[in-house]
Amino acid sequence: MNSTGQLRSSNKPSDRLELGPFKNHPLFVGKDDPDARRSFQQALAKVRSQLGRSYSLFVAGSDLTTDKTFRSVNPADPDEVIGVICQATEAQLDQAIQAAQEAFLDWRDVPASVRVKYLLAAAELLRKRIYYYSAWQVLEEGKQWDQAYNDVAEAIDFLEYYSRQALQLDHLLDLGSYASEKNEYFYQPKGLTAVIAPWNFPLAISCGMVSAAIAVGSCVLYKPSSQSAVVGHHLVEVFREVGLPSGVFNYLPGPGSLVGQYLAEDPRIAVIAFTGSMEVGLKLTELAAKPRPGQDHLKKVIAEMGGKNAIIIDEDADQDRAISAVLYSAFGYQGQKCSACSRLIVVDRVYDRFVPRLVESAARLKIGPAEDPANYMGPVIDQAAQQKIQSYIDLAAKEGKIICRSDVPKKGFYVPMTIVEGITPDCRIAQEEIFGPVLAVMRTRDFDQAIEWANSTRFALTGAVFSRNRQHLEQARRHFRVGNLYFNRHCVGAMVKVQPFGGFKLSGTGTKAGGPDYLLHFVDPRCVTEQPM
């Protein structure tokens, strides 16, 4: 692009960057693999030796310290401090936005073939240190080994995939001619992007939103979740090491009520990329909708919010496969995923055989610190989450019958793995996102009612169906209305490119992270028509 923001042609041979086909990074091989076990144990020991450090802001390529700080702790042992993080003030937020503005004037002119080399170098660093960066998530977020490793693998996938997508966008598209006129189509970055990230996928989702913006020529103001601010700082380390130009990426931790709101309201911000709760997503959308003095554009909000996801068990389902998938979907990472299964819908004819087997399997699962790979479930993220989830467990006992409630360790932010039956769509347990290990079991008379109940919430994120009945699967394909629908497998763990992730209704704005059109939300299309003299 030139200094006016117009895309310059990247069709010169010298500008081309040829990359091979995209391939997903392999997922975790398993805790029983000797090499993987040794690598994780070594990484955990290394991380433990670095706990308690202080982390500065990162603005215009430099560290900034502040007097006001907050602590990030191990949710399995709140006495263990993971790190002490500086908190951004309004003055520093303004400084960061100014730095990003200045950097944007040059960065938007850099060809995608150059921009993505920084992202590809970052992916290579993550590959080399995947166990190290995974170990930080085990301790700061209470993630099991596989959950943490796969999060870093997904971050690598986003860097690689969006690099390839950006190269495809960075070309003039010849639209053909009409009445001898020549017509060309191209894209330019919308402008500064505020990335407001969640704690549950602290590196993957952060890296995905950040790399998408950087790939198309935007500069980023990044606010990590306070519960995962140390993992968020890994992006600072990686981008600094690969030499990303000053001001392109800025790290601004702090409370959402200050940092998130300031970024959403500032007239210089063009895009808000958010992943988190429905309540916060709606608030950000409301703030972004109101133009401020000096604002000359409509802000684009890219929001991935919550879910109330259901798995349907048909009468001819493979019960062994279904039980394993339901447990993983509902209780993997303590149910703290927007894609997690929180409603289990079982048709009447199989209910009395399936549900007791599920409860029996759930009762055998161990709960304890995530660093011990023998534990299936660990702590929830903090005390506020612990108290909220416990209040929903109390509500579940009133609205239905609790048929499984596990014991939990006394120290740490633990809540019991809970299964409650007798739930119908009019129950709060069937409608409100809990974001914890609480599974509501619903009994329907037939498959038609199962589909009806699956669609009975304000959300439309993920879902799954276990059935051997091809007619029922095709019925679900048409009428089970969610962004990501899975047949005969769990409803979590979408893979970049092959399973683009995102929902609609109040689950999000209809965008698909890791999909072929995701980068289009960060750019403005332009068309130029030239009539020959």
Would you state the pLDDT for residue 6? 36
Give the confidence band of 337 by pLDDT, cuts at 50, 70, 90.
very high
For residues 221-248, one letter each, b for 16 or more C-beta atoms within 10 angstroms of the residue's C-beta and e for the rest, the string is bbbbbbbbbbbbbbbbebbbebebebbb
Single-letter residue type at 408: V
- Residue indicated by tokens 């996928």: 201
Q: How is the beta sheet containing 523-530 ordered, strand by strand?
A: 173-178, 181-189, 523-530
Would you state the pLDDT for residue 18? 87
Q: Is 207 a catalytic residue?
A: no
Reported in sequence order, the residue ranges of 428-503 that DSSP labels E, i.e. its strands, are: 438-444, 459-460, 462-466, 484-487
Residues 503 and 309: beta-carbon distance below 8 Å: no
Would you state the pLDDT for residue 51? 98
CA–CA gap between residue 137 and residue 486 (Å, rounded) = 27
Would you state the pLDDT for residue 498? 98
Would you state the pLDDT for residue 9? 37
Residues 149 and 201: beta-carbon distance below 8 Å: no
Interval 341-359: pLDDT, tens: 999 999 999 999 999 999 9
Domains located in the chain, CATH noted: 13-18+43-305+509-526 (3.40.605.10), 309-495 (3.40.309.10)
Q: How would you classify the pairing of strands 523-530 and 504-505?
A: unpaired
CA–CA gap between residue 528 and residue 164 (Å, rounded) = 25
pLDDT at 486 over 50: yes
Interval 166-178: pLDDT, tens: 999 999 999 998 8
DSSP designation for 367: B
CA–CA gap between residue 491 and residue 499 (Å, rounded) = 11
CA–CA gap between residue 188 and residue 198 (Å, rounded) = 28
Would you state the pLDDT for residue 265? 97
- Residue indicated by tokens 């403005």: 524
CA–CA gap between residue 250 and residue 173 (Å, rounded) = 33
CA–CA gap between residue 482 and residue 504 (Å, rounded) = 7
Which helix (H) or strand (E) is 114 found in, with range?
A: helix 112-128
Give the confidence band of 1 by pLDDT, cuts at 50, 70, 90.
very low
Enumerate residues 6+ apart whose C-beta is below 8 A from 232: 197, 202, 203, 206, 222, 224, 225, 251, 253
For residues 301-315, one letter each, b for 16 or more C-beta atoms within 10 angstroms of the residue's C-beta and e for the rest, the string is bbbbbbbbbbbbbbb
Q: How far apart are the first and last CA of the chain?
A: 25
Residues 149 and 27: beta-carbon distance below 8 Å: yes
The alpha carbons of the chain give a radius of gyration, in whole angstroms, of 24
Residues 369 and 375: beta-carbon distance below 8 Å: yes
pLDDT at 475 over 70: yes
Would you state the pLDDT for residue 17? 86
Give the confidence band of 15 by pLDDT, cuts at 50, 70, 90.
low
How much is the average pLDDT of 424-453?
98
Q: What's the mean pLDDT when you consider all of the chain?
A: 96
DSSP designation for 180: T
Interval 198-241: pLDDT, tens: 999 999 999 999 999 999 999 999 999 999 999 999 999 999 99
Would you state the pLDDT for residue 5? 36
Residue 186: how many other CB atoms lie within 10 Å = 21
CA–CA gap between residue 491 and residue 466 (Å, rounded) = 11
Single-letter residue type at 103: A
Interval 286-313: pLDDT, tens: 999 999 999 999 999 999 999 999 999 9
CA–CA gap between residue 81 and residue 140 (Å, rounded) = 9
pLDDT at 11 over 90: no
Would you state the pLDDT for residue 13? 34
Catalytic residue among 86, 338, 341, 404: 338
Give the confidence band of 2 by pLDDT, cuts at 50, 70, 90.
very low
Among 31-35, 146-150, 269-273, 436-440, the range scoring the smallest mean pLDDT is 31-35
Note the pTM of the prediction, 2 decimals: 0.96
Q: Is 338 a catalytic residue?
A: yes
Would you state the pLDDT for residue 462? 98
pLDDT at 4 over 80: no
Interval 368-397: pLDDT, tens: 999 999 999 999 999 999 999 999 999 999
Catalytic residue among 304, 315, 371, 421: 304
Give the confidence band of 8 by pLDDT, cuts at 50, 70, 90.
very low
Q: In residues, how long is the chain?
A: 533
Interval 118-128: pLDDT, tens: 999 999 999 99
Residue 432: how many other CB atoms lie within 10 Å = 16
Among 9-23, 247-261, 307-321, the range scoring the smallest mean pLDDT is 9-23
* DSSP codes joined into one string, 307-362: --EEEEE-TT--HHHHHHHHHHHHHGGGG-STT-EEEEEEEHHHHHHHHHHHHHHH
Residues 248 and 219: beta-carbon distance below 8 Å: yes
Share of the chain above pLDDT 90, in %: 95
Would you state the pLDDT for residue 16? 74
**Alpha helices, DSSP H only, in 142-226?**
145-169, 204-215
